[in-house]
Amino acid sequence: MSAKDLLLAIDNGTQSIKALLFDPEGNLLAKEQVHFEPYFSQKPGWTEQDPLVYWNSLCTACQRLWKREGVDKSRIAGVSLTTQRSSVINVDGKGNPLRPAMLWLDQRKTENHPGAGPFWNALFTVAGAKSTVDHFLSEAQSSWIMTRQPEIWKNTHKYLLLSGYLTFKLLDKFVDSTSSQVGYIPFNYRKLKWANSLDFRWRAQGLKPRQMPELIEAAKVLGEITSQASEATGIPKGLPLIAGAADKACEVLGSGGLEPSLGCLSYGTTATINVASKKPVSPFWLAPPYPAAIPGAYNIEVEIFRGYWMVSWFKKEFGFEERMEAMEKGTEPEILFEKLVKEAPPGSMGLMLQPYWTPGIKHPGPEGKGAIIGFGDVHTRAHVYRSILEGLAYALREGKERLEKRTGTPINRLAVSGGGSQSDSAMQITADVFGLPAVRPHLYETSGLGAAMIAAVGLGLHKDFDQAVSAMTRPGAEFLPIEENRQLYHRLYKEVFLKMYKRLGPIYKSIRDITGYPS
């Protein structure tokens, strides 16, 4: 009989799904990835996806994994799941989707939502928070579905995050991990369970506790793979599915993030900086922290909503030359962008980019937009591309300083993961802008690794998370600040970047009022 010592992690991102096989030392033994279109849009700002795209891609990725040489699925001890956050799916009593999934990228708003109610409205008004709460409720996906598609809402048996939907497909039961939840649904982030019945979010979003899945703590068993799921995926029937965590939480764990002194940067579709905390500290007023992958802990996060999506935007709109050359050479355009970024000097000759391509709630606010200032006749595509990387680093440095104030702990190390971390130029710019060493984890797949680490603890392959981090994570390439660049970036950050939003904010508001976009 083979020893059951391997871990299967399923990682469902915005643009692809991966089936990853790890050993207890954090080595990636095999990987299969299935790409799909991230979403379809019926109107500008709408982002939706057929939930079966995720499930069918999961099945395909797993079935391909078993065909790889040397993969022995009889050695798999258990499975864990990590997914993109905040993408929601309405299902009927049999778990069938009633409408497309509404993704976290969706920008539609609902101005005629039910509201928090007279008592809560009065309380929020006194606290000076009513406009923030109204904005939050107008952006909740449930508000739009409830008011615009009442028949679908009426027939909704369960309101699931993507993690809950895929868990149902694997187990045929409505359960989900506590560490996959988000604070804008009726979730008590302090007690890490569903909010009590008096919480304003139930009424305001038209939700009932019975519509939510049962929550199970991370690293506990959610259930066993059913025969039907086994037939579709090839995952052995009866294997335990261990409660995982959302992708960003798994990235923090996979980067070795256990203390608030380590800043965990994620250069993905959304760019984020996270620190681990044992206390539920909010990065912004009324903006809750996220549950960490470790039960009872939290991730305090500042996010740049479009993040490294901007590289994809640049590739599409300005990277025709690199796309054609990459096609001829059989490589990726992003590799050729490494050459392009070196054509522009640090600081991009004064070209400054503010990466707020999508509005937020606090910073940026609902009026937020992106900007590039400082153009001159010397500037080329190379300067624009470099300014994207620099602008994202500036914004995340601002997030670092906010997190330090909130936790009272200086961040003295950076661990950078996500697709953007594969760029040496992005890593060096990060080190220079932050003035700190920037390290890649030993493995690019930090989200999948984090999920595997949760499974390893849950299955007893490691006694606790400290041991799992020690055994399964280690530093990779390190990038040290170049002093000349650090000084240049420090002045641009302090004297230009930090002043941009304050001065441009009123103009952004006027643009929104005049054009109606993105409201």
DSSP annotation string for 454-502: HHHHHTTSSSSHHHHHHHH--EEEEEPPPHHHHHHHHHHIIIIIHHHHH
Rounded to whole angstroms, how far apart are CA atoms 315 and 30? Answer: 29
> 50 near 22, Cβ under 8 Å?
no
- List the chain residues with pLDDT less than 50: 1
d(CA 477, CA 443): 10
Provide the pLDDT for residue 1: 45
Is the domain 6-244 a CATH 3.30.420.40 member? yes
CA 164 to chain centre: 16
350: how many CB neighbours lie within 10 A of its CB? 15
Neighbours of 219 (CB within 10 A): 25
- Write out pLDDT tens, residues 313-371: 999 999 999 999 999 998 888 889 999 999 999 999 999 999 998 887 778 888 889 99
pTM exceeds cut of 0.95: no
Question: Which amino acid is present at 135?
Answer: H
Tokens at 451, concatenated = 């999920």
Beta bridge partners of 263: 414
Long-range contacts of 367-371 (CB under 8 A, 24+ apart): 367/505, 367/508, 367/509, 367/511, 367/512, 368/501, 368/505, 368/508, 369/504, 369/508, 369/511, 369/512, 371/500, 371/504
Helix (H, G, I), strand (E, B) or coil at 503: helix
Q: Which two tokens stand for residue 28?
A: 């990636």
Q: Locate tokens 């059951």: which residue? A: 4
Residue 365 has what pLDDT? 84
Give the pLDDT of residue 217: 97
Per-residue pLDDT, 358: 84
Instruction: Encode pLDDT of 284-308 as tens digits.
Output: 876 789 999 999 999 999 999 888 8
Angle, helices 333-341 vs 320-329, to 10°: value is: 130
Residue 463: both structure tokens together? 């006694």
d(CA 256, CA 258): 6
Please name the residue ranges forming H helices in 193-308: 200-204, 227-233, 247-254
pLDDT at 205: 86
Q: How far apart are CA 351 and CA 188, in angstroms?
A: 43
Contacts 24+ apart (CB under 8 A), 187-195: 189/280, 189/288, 189/289, 189/290, 189/291, 189/298, 190/280, 192/217, 192/291, 192/295, 192/296
What is the distance between the alpha carbons of residues 145 and 519, in angstroms, rounded to a whole number? 17
DSSP 188-204: ETTTTEEPPTT-HHHHH
Within 10 Å of residue 318's Cβ, how many Cβ atoms? 13
Report the sign of the C-alpha dihedral through residues 63, 67, 69, 74, in that order.
Answer: positive
SS3 label, residue 368: coil
Domain ranges of the chain: 6-244
The torsion region of residue 205 among left (phi > 0), alpha (psi -120 to 50) and beta comes to: alpha
How many C-beta neighbours within 10 Å does residue 511 have?
14
Please enumerate in sequence order all residues whose Cβ is within 8 A of that of 288, keeping only pairs 6 or more positions apart, or say none.
183, 189, 280, 282
Count the Cβ atoms, other than its own, within 10 Å of residue 403: 22
160 closest CA partner among 113, 128, 207:
207
CA distances from 477 to 30, 243, 323, 423, 485 (A): 22, 31, 28, 11, 20
